[in-house]
Amino acid sequence: MYIVIIGGGKVGFYLAKALLDEGHEVLVVEKDASRTEFIHNELGSACTRGDGCEVTTLTEVGTGRANMFIAVTGDDDDNLVACQVAKHKFNVPQTIARISNPKNETIFKKLGIDVTISSTNIILEYIEQEVPTHPLTHLLNIRDKGLEIVEVKVPPDSPTIGKMVKELSLPVGSVLLLLIRRQEKPQVPTAETILQAEDQIIAVTTPEAEEALRTTLRGF
């Protein structure tokens, strides 16, 4: 696969290195001369100096035959424009943009970028998982379906303890998938399952219903 990467910062550099190791043909486009030289020395001829948003530069690097185009500079607007140029001028089938402002995720989707990766959101998700008291943890987003898999822990003082699943008023679009209880095998919760303190519940929900699901399961 031929992959063009825009931005030779730390992300771009290590990404290129990993993709080269996997046997892909990779080219990094970097604005800064000394950074270009550094990558050139480290990775051989896999880096060229130029502006990844300019049609001339992208023509030179053969973007027209690229299978994938990844923009990972530190600026959201640069990544957006580079991907749009690749998509509309060079018909690259797959464009991926790194974004820093999580709010740009929906905007970029609307503007035709195939995949967006929000490093801020990813770091946030890991932090949620590492902080045990966090009321709701995001485990996975189901792309393009507007669904997410989350984990909710029932606190010891929750009013939902002792209640059956059917007695809870779960928000529309939320389904409980799995119940993990200490010293027991994981089980699929049924309508008759009675909640206990410290139960870990894995559920599928929508971003809109997330808040309601959390309140229903935790009681507050």
Partner 1 sequence: MKVVIMGCGRVGARLAGLLDIEGHSVTILDIDAYSFRRLPPDFSGTALVGDGTDEEALKKAGIEEADAFAALTQGDNRNIMAAQIAKHIFNVPKVVCRIYDPLRRELFNSLGIEALSPTTTFAQMLKDRIEG
Q: Which residues bind partner 1 (CB under 8 A)?
A: 53-56, 75-78, 80-81, 84-85, 88-89, 101, 103, 107, 110-111
Contacts of 183 (CB under 8 A, 6+ apart): none
Closer residue to partner 1 (CB): 61 or 195: 61
Smallest distance from the beta carbon of 181 to partner 1, in angstroms? 42
DSSP state of 5: E
Place of tokens 């270009």: 36
Closer residue to partner 1 (CB): 54 or 151: 54
Q: What angle do CA 78, 12, 79 make, to 5 degrees?
A: 15
Q: Which residues lie across from 5 on neighbouring strands? A: 28, 70
Q: Strand runs (DSSP E) across 124-199, as ranges?
A: 136-142, 147-153, 175-180
Q: What tokens were used for 121?
A: 């959101």
Closer residue to partner 1 (CB): 6 or 39: 6
Smallest distance from the beta carbon of 55 to partner 1, in angstroms? 4
Smallest distance from the beta carbon of 102 to partner 1, in angstroms? 11
Closer residue to partner 1 (CB): 111 or 178: 111
Contacts of 28 (CB under 8 A, 6+ apart): 5, 6, 7, 8, 12, 13, 16, 39, 43, 46, 47, 48
Smallest distance from the beta carbon of 34 to partner 1, in angstroms? 23
Smallest distance from the beta carbon of 123 to partner 1, in angstroms? 20
Closer residue to partner 1 (CB): 65 or 103: 103
Smallest distance from the beta carbon of 158 to partner 1, in angstroms? 34
Closer residue to partner 1 (CB): 26 or 81: 81
Q: What tokens were used for 92?
A: 């690259």
Radius of gyration of the chain (CA): 23
Place of tokens 């995720």: 105
Residue 144's CB is within 10 A of a number of other CB atoms, namely 8
